[in-house]
Structure formats: structure tokens, C-alpha cells
A and B are shown apart, each in its own frame.
Chain A
Amino acid sequence: MALVKIDNVSKTYQTGEVQVKALHDVNLSIDEASFVTFVGPSGSGKTTMLNLIGCLDKPTKGKIFVGEEQVDAFDRRQRAAFRGSTLGFIFQAFNLFPVLTAYENVEYPLVMIKNESISKRKEMVLKVLESVGMLDQKDKFPDQLSGGQKQRVAVARALVTQPKLVMADEPTANLDKKSAVNVIRLMRAMRDEFKTTFIFSTHDPGVMEEAEVIHTLEDGRLLDPKHSPTFVQEEKK
């Protein structure tokens, strides 16, 4: 069953007097509990695609459905509420709050968005920290953690609210190869454990291999899945 449905979506940015078309008439469907990646060279539209699905931005044209909701019709406040209730985010630069410990970073969405009780919060945070293997590091601040550990905390923060969908824009770009693969495997394991759909972008061939579904973007167009993308072949070389 499709969790995300993208219907003829285009996105154009206005940069001064220049119009940049980031996505061209994209049609796409993503199933529940799938592990999907968008690949493509820089400027191909990966981040734009994730921003649109993640309700961080609105398409210039077309419709986007996440679950039952037509998210492109949401106003600013509705989008924020929807992101808090349904989506999780993992960022390339981890984006952990530096003043909060690993535990508090994971707890943040439960306090600021979900308003969960202290006991429930504790239970949920400890469970997810254990799942990502960071329970023993829970009292450390982000600057006391390695890149891989930070991203594990970020994964835990994205999953703690039990979202239907987790968006990750280049989650391994700031990690070494070993850590990158570990993080992707962790995400996949989390998908298996929590049945959460993961959509991430990458241009790392090693990471791409871990994905179950690969969508290739080139110049804002979605290539035929059967078509072997030249970009991937070039990157593999």
C-alpha cells in the first residue's frame, strides 16, 4: 500500500530574475515500510524531492499525498503539526541541539511537540536509545560524540515519536565509509523493528546498495527505475 503518492509534481525556484526548475512533472509512489533512496548528482533535485515529501516546502505544481493527507494543501502551521505527528528527520550535519545531552536530544520532540508525560518519555527515549545502541552514551553532549554516534542519536530522535515516515537527506555524507554503512544498516534495522518507511538521499554507491528501492533523479526528472543510471555507474567506478 502506498504511503507517499506524488502526482505530477514540479518545483521551480526563483533566484533573482532567474527561474530554476528543480523538479519536472514527477510521478511517484512509495510503499509503507519500504527503504527507499533517491540518488543523483548534485543539483539533480534530491533535496527538493525530500523537502516536498517532508512538508518543508510546497510544490509549484502537482499534488503530494502522505498517508491520507494532501500535504501540499497545508498551510504553514498545519505543515509543522503534520511534521511533528507523522514525520521524522535525519540531517546530513546531524543537527543535534548542542546544549542538550543525547538523551535530551531524543526526548526533545516528546517534550516540545508531543507533550508526553515524564514517565512515558523516559520509557520511549530509553527504548529507542537502546535500539540504536546509544544507551551508554545518553548523558553525553553532542560535542562529546563521534560523527557516527551523533547520527545514531539523530536516528533515535527521528524515531522516538514513532513516525510513519523518516526523511534523511544525505545522512551519511559527513561520515566515513564504515560509519556510513553502519548508519544505513541501523536505519534499515529500525525499519524492520518499527515498520517505519525510510526515504533518504545519497550519492554514495556503497550506501545505495543497502537500499531496497532506488529512484534516480537527473536534472529534476525521475528516470525509469529499469534504466541503469549512468550516474551510479560512474560513481561506482
Chain B
Amino acid sequence: MIRIFQIALRNLMRYKRRTLLTSLLITLGLLMVILFSGLAGSFKAMMVGQITDSNLAQMQIHKKGYVSSIDTMPLNLTLDSKGYKNVEKILKENPDVQAYAPRIKLSAMLSNFTETTNIRLNAIDPEKEIKVCPNVSERMKFSGSQIPDVLLKPGEIIIPEKLAAGMKIKIGDPVVLVANNKDGSVNGLNFTVAGIIESVLGPQGKEGYMHIKDAQSLLRMEKPEVIEVALRIKEFEKLDGVYKKLESSLAKFTNKKGKPAFEIHTWEELSPFSNIARMIDFMAITMKLIMIAIVLISILNVMMMSVYERVREIGTMSAIGTAPGKIMGLFLAEGLSLGLISTLAGNIIGIFGIYILNIYKIRFAFGRMDDLLLSPTISFSELVWVSAIVLMVSVFASLQPAYKASKMEPVDALGHV
């Protein structure tokens, strides 16, 4: 076997320029994939992190039917105490769940006593919310430069930046919130503006924050109710698996009609960024397909030329008794060696490229998020996977020429001019 690879390598070195050019082409293809995967993967992970850790959370549980009518923020699709306890029990039993937080989402009228406008509010339990969305406070501005120990106290409200600017509301100003409860009656409460929040992409970025207890009072909920339960899991990579387990656990709770009482959604189903994330994945796949095409065409071309140039040599091998399988093995080893050399070069240059990108920090802005720093990384498993693709395609591309070589009749091949 070693001798076969030794002969294969020497044959590759016979045509140095051709081998070098082909290897360079494959190396560049691989480099392109590694750099793109590193950059795109880093961008995607950062954006997903921003979205899930700052306001959306990784998963959300609602009463069945809530998400389909989320734009109207219905108050009649709430989880009552019993329903919330059932959800809590399921979440506590699942070892993959790190934290969860109850929320109420509502629409209200905000008045600064001279002007009134509508506002969407996210009513949270601050202690629990910070565990589910650890970056929630990063977009908030408070009276001091420090983030307060308790994000939000009862009687306080955090309002969106644009709304605050439009209504000339400052931190510390009093405001009034007026909201309809689910019976249609109206209630109003006084609040103090405790902070301003910068918006992120999507309608949820225009939401303000208030304490969940205030929301329950404002909406005159006689017993505590929640609209959604946001949750965070221990390992984000296990999202799909945990989602399936929770979905199955929640499915045992049914409503009076015998249909599921709850629904669970991952961030992908709730955020428009998931389409961008899918597009990034699609582009990564496209890059890999381009790389496969480069490897396939270049190795097939080189190997076919190699076979046509060495017909007499193949005839000699066959004449002196080399089995067709071994002749095929020689040419497959040649294609594989070419792929292997290029893969090694591509990996080394690719890793070095990612290292360089990390040294020359790439900063960018996305939506309202400025000065985002890309930290391209590529996992070992991704490198192994991409390398395995190149090697498999190298062997696949060599198959036809190798088969052709092995099938040559020695008497014809020896007479070839």
C-alpha cells in the first residue's frame, strides 16, 4: 500500500506544473469554504446570540393558537395558574433546561400628560428574565452609567428609544399607561420611566418593558396569568432535541376539545432573522457545492489526461501481470494523493486565514447594532467534514479514469502511439 502511494506521488510529481495548478485550485476552493464557514458561522452565531439572549429567548411556550394571532396580542390566550404550573413542572423535569421566565405581552396607551401614543410592552419577572435573556440589559440605558441590581422594580417602565425621543420623555419622568383588559374594560396606572431601550430588528425591538406584577394589576387579572414562558437551555446545540422532548412532554396536556393545550416554538419560528440564518446556511452549502465541482472537474481532468498520456505504461503494467484491481488502485491513489495534498494545504492556509481575520478584527453594523465584532472560528468537526468531502470527491473523480486504465487490453495499450 505504501509503495502504491509512493508511485502515485512520484507520478504526480512527473507533471509538476499541472499538479501544482490543480492542487492550487482545490486549495483555493477549500480555503474559500473554510473562510466563508468561519465568517458566516461567526456572523450567524453572533446574530442568533443577540436575538435570543437580548429579548426573544431560545424557545417560547404559549397557549395553543397564540403565535398565529401574535400581532393582535390577544389577552384571552393566557396560561392560568394551573397551566403555568403544568408548564413549570415539565421545564423543571427536563435537565437540559437552564432557566425559564414568565411574560405577559400587551398593548397599551402611553401618556406623558401632554401626548399619548400606543406602546407594545413586555411584562417580565426581572430576576427570571435576566437568566433567560442575559443580554437584555445591554440595550438599555439607565439614569446612572451602571446597570441597576434589579433591572426593573414594580411601578417602573422602560420605554423604546424612538418613542422616548418622539414624546420627549426622559429617565425619571412620570407616565401613565392605559390598557384594555380581556373583558374590554379600561384601566390606567402611573409609572416612572426607569430606562430607555434601543431597538433591534423586528417589531419586538419596539417593545418596552414593565414588571409582570404591574401588568397583572393593569390588566386586572384576579389570579396570576402569563402569556408566554420564555426559556433557555444549557447547550444551544441541543436546541432541536430539547424542543422535540418538550413538545412531546407538553402534548400530554389537552384542552376541553381534546387538542393540545400548549404550543412551543424555537427562536427560528419566531424571528425573521431565521430566514437570513437559513440563507447563510444555503450560501455555505452553495460554497461547498462549488468546491465539490472544482475538485471533481479538476481531478477528473488531471486523471483522464494522466491515463491518456500513460497508455503504454498501463499496457506494460498489465502485460507483466499487474491485476486490473491494482492498476485501478494506482490511479485511485494518485487522485486521492492529489486531494490529500490539496486538503492539507487548504486546511493549513484556511486556519491561518481565520487566525489573520481574528488579528485584524472585523467590525460591522447590523440594524441598530453598531460595532459588532466578528470572531471567525471553524470547528474541528467542520474541518474534518469539509476535508472528508474533498477526499471522497477526489476518489470519486478518479474512479472513471482508473476504471478505464484497469480495463485496457495490454496488447492494445502496448501498441498505442
Contact = CB atoms under 8 A, between A and B. Distances in A.
Interface string A85-114: 101110101010111100000001101110
A52 B36 CA distance: 59
A77 interface: yes
A140 to B, nearest CB: 15
Contacts of B319: 54, 56, 83, 89, 91
A108 B318 CA distance: 12
B368 interface: no
Nearest to A98: B14
Interface residues of B, number: 22
Contacts of A99: 7, 10-11, 13-14
A157 interface: yes
Nearest to A52: B411
Interface residues of A, number: 29
A109 B323 contact: no
B313 A80 contact: no
Contacts of B414: 56, 91, 95
Contacts of B312: 93, 95
Q: By CB atoms of chain B within 10 A, which of A57, A88, A112 has the most?
A: A112
Contacts of B318: 80
B326 interface: yes
B324 A84 contact: no
A222 to B, nearest CB: 20
B410 A87 contact: no
Contacts of B7: 97, 99-100
Interface in B284-342: 312-313, 315-324, 326
B17 interface: no
A109 B414 CA distance: 17
Given A56-B411, A99-B11, A100-B10, A157 B320 contact: yes
Nearest to B415: A47
A85 B320 CA distance: 9
A179 interface: no
A135 to B, nearest CB: 21
Contacts of A80: 318, 321-324
A81 interface: yes
A76 interface: yes
A81 B411 contact: no
A51 interface: yes
Contact of B323 (A77, A87, A98, A111): A77
B269 to A, nearest CB: 59
B149 to A, nearest CB: 75
Given A95-B313, A111-B3, A84 B411 contact: no
A51 B411 contact: yes
Contact of B324 (A54, A77, A89, A97): A77
A113 B317 CA distance: 10
Contacts of A93: 312
A156 to B, nearest CB: 13
A157 B10 CA distance: 20
B316 A91 contact: yes
B324 A76 contact: yes
A110 to B, nearest CB: 10
B320 A83 contact: yes
Contact of A57 (B13, B324, B411): B411
A81 B414 CA distance: 18
A81 B324 CA distance: 10
Nearest to B410: A56
Contacts of B313: 95, 97-98
B410 A113 contact: no
Nearest to A169: B414
A204 to B, nearest CB: 20
A173 B207 CA distance: 93
A194 B189 CA distance: 113
Contacts of B13: 99
B14 A84 contact: no
Interface in A49-86: 51, 54, 56-57, 76-77, 80-85
A112 B328 CA distance: 12
Contacts of B315: 95
A70 to B, nearest CB: 18
B287 to A, nearest CB: 36
Contact of B320 (A57, A89, A98): A89
Contact of B321 (A51, A76, A113): A113
Nearest to A51: B411
A54 B318 CA distance: 12
Contacts of B11: 99
18 contacts: A56-B410, A56-B411, A76-B324, A77-B323, A81-B321, A83-B319, A83-B320, A83-B321, A85-B321, A89-B320, A91-B414, A95-B312, A97-B7, A97-B313, A98-B14, A98-B313, A99-B14, A157-B320
Given A51-B411, A80-B322, A89-B316, 15 more contacts: A56-B319, A56-B410, A56-B414, A77-B324, A89-B319, A91-B316, A95-B312, A95-B315, A97-B7, A99-B7, A99-B10, A109-B320, A112-B317, A113-B320, A157-B320
Which 4 pairs show the lowest CB-CB distances between chains A and B?
A: A84-B321, A99-B10, A83-B321, A95-B316
